[in-house]
């Protein structure tokens, strides 16, 4: 059995109660570099012609020129002028391209987040940093899921993140359905700054409209993926887990999750590591 882990704060109990995992749009991630590619244009002349066919791009160029005092008419005047002075405007568009690429880079994560969300799990259950960051300072728990089940194989399934030093490159000239664009779509989904490598993250992408929707505490909408009770393989209590949460897990798991084992994380007596062992005391892993 291959297990992937979800680090949970106080909401971990709700995940077990409701049998639902939250799927998060990328614009809610804590890393602002997520889904922000390095935008380039290998054919400025050709791309400039395409830009002039788009009303949104024309408006971006117009607003930049108006702001710089290079055009003092209305947007309608600008569009009419473009048709008359097309060759010259292409040169202007080429000069305005860096701004358009920058705006596209900034807006990309927002556009993706309108439609898609990610389920984020980890290959490891003993990361001191993740226990500290995501489980309310070791007060929460970690849930281990059996990734062989169908819920984790939907679409392209749960896949490992690749940790890189440079942002994923996107060329504005790539055509829809082309091999480079398809490769890019995988790379932007699965690439992350190498500083996060300790997380050993796994990701699965979902269309938000196919998921269950519920209001969150902050008034926004949350998206949730239901899972079956046999999906839970382990429930690991944090080193600072309260006696109430520990008692609840010990009572809930045997009755609701027949395949699951309750374990506990504890601090190693001499090393900066966590020992993960069944609550019965039998050592599982150090």
Q: How confident is the model at residue 280 (pLDDT cuts 50, 70, 90)?
A: low
d(CA 266, CA 125) in angstroms, rounded, equals: 12
Is 131 in a helix, a strand, or coil?
helix
Q: Which of 53, 56, 51, 54 is nearest to 95 (CA)?
A: 51
187: which 2 tokens? 């790379």
Tell whether the model's pLDDT for residue 267 goes beyond 90. yes
How does pLDDT run across 142-178, given as a tens digit for each residue?
Answer: 999 999 999 999 999 999 999 999 999 999 889 889 9
d(CA 161, CA 119) in angstroms, rounded, equals: 12
Backbone angles phi, psi at 35, to 5 degrees: 55, 35
How does pLDDT run across 214-257, given as a tens digit for each residue?
Answer: 998 888 899 999 999 999 999 999 999 988 888 888 888 989 99
| E strand spans, 123-168 | 141-146, 159-160, 162-164
Tell whether the model's pLDDT for residue 279 goes beyond 80. yes
**Looking at residue 284, what is its pLDDT?**
41
CA-to-CA dists, residue 8 to 4, 247, 268, angstroms: 13, 17, 21
d(CA 134, CA 124) in angstroms, rounded, equals: 13
- Using alpha carbons only, what angle is made at residue 236 by residues 156 and 239, rounded to the nearest 5 degrees? 135
Tell whether the model's pLDDT for residue 282 goes beyond 70. no
Is 117 in a helix, a strand, or coil?
strand
Is 35 in a helix, a strand, or coil?
coil
**Looking at residue 79, what is its pLDDT?**
87
Q: Which residue has the tokens 């010990």?
A: 250
- Using alpha carbons only, what angle is made at residue 111 by residues 110 and 112, rounded to the nearest 5 degrees? 90
Q: How confident is the model at residue 283 (pLDDT cuts 50, 70, 90)?
A: very low
How does pLDDT run across 175-200, given as a tens digit for each residue?
Answer: 889 999 999 999 999 999 999 999 99
Q: Which of 242, 132, 112, 101 is nearest to 188 (CA)?
A: 112
Q: In the predicted model, what is the mean pLDDT of the chain?
A: 90
194-198, long-range: CB < 8 A, 24+ apart: 194/163, 194/164, 194/165, 196/31, 196/161, 196/163, 197/163, 198/127, 198/129, 198/130
176: which 2 tokens? 């829809």
Tell whether the model's pLDDT for residue 48 goes beyond 80. no
Q: How confident is the model at residue 281 (pLDDT cuts 50, 70, 90)?
A: very low
């Amino acid at each position: 059995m291959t297990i992937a882990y979800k680090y949970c704060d106080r909401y971990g109990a709700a995940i077990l109660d409701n049998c639902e995992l939250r799927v998060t749009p990328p614009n809610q991630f804590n890393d602002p570099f997520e889904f922000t590619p390095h935008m380039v244009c290998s054919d400025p002349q050709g791309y400039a012609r395409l830009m002039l066919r788009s009303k949104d791009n024309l408006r971006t160029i117009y607003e930049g020129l108006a702001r710089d005092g290079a055009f003092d008419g209305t947007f309608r005047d600008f569009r009419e002028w473009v048709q008359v002075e097309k060759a010259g405007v292409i040169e202007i568009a080429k000069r305005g391209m860096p701004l358009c690429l920058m705006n596209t880079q900034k807006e990309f994560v927002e556009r993706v987040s309108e439609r898609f969300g990610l389920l984020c799990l980890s290959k490891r259950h003993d990361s001191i940093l993740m226990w500290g960051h995501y489980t309310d300072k070791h007060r929460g728990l970690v849930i281990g899921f059996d990734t062989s089940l169908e819920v984790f194989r939907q679409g392209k399934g749960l896949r490992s993140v690749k940790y890189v030093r440079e942002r994923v490159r996107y060329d504005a000239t790539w055509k829809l359905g082309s091999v480079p664009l398809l490769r890019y779509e995988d790379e932007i989904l699965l690439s992350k700054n190498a500083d996060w490598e300790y997380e050993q993250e796994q990701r699965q992408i979902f269309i938000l409209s196919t998921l269950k929707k519920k209001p969150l505490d902050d008034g926004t909408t949350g998206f949730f993926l239901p899972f079956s009770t046999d999906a839970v393989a382990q429930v690991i209590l944090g080193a600072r887990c309260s006696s109430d949460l520990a008692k609840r897990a010990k009572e809930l798991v045997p009755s609701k999750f027949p395949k699951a084992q309750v374990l506990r994380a504890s601090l190693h007596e001499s090393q900066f590591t966590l020992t993960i062992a069944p609550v019965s005391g039998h050592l599982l892993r150090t």
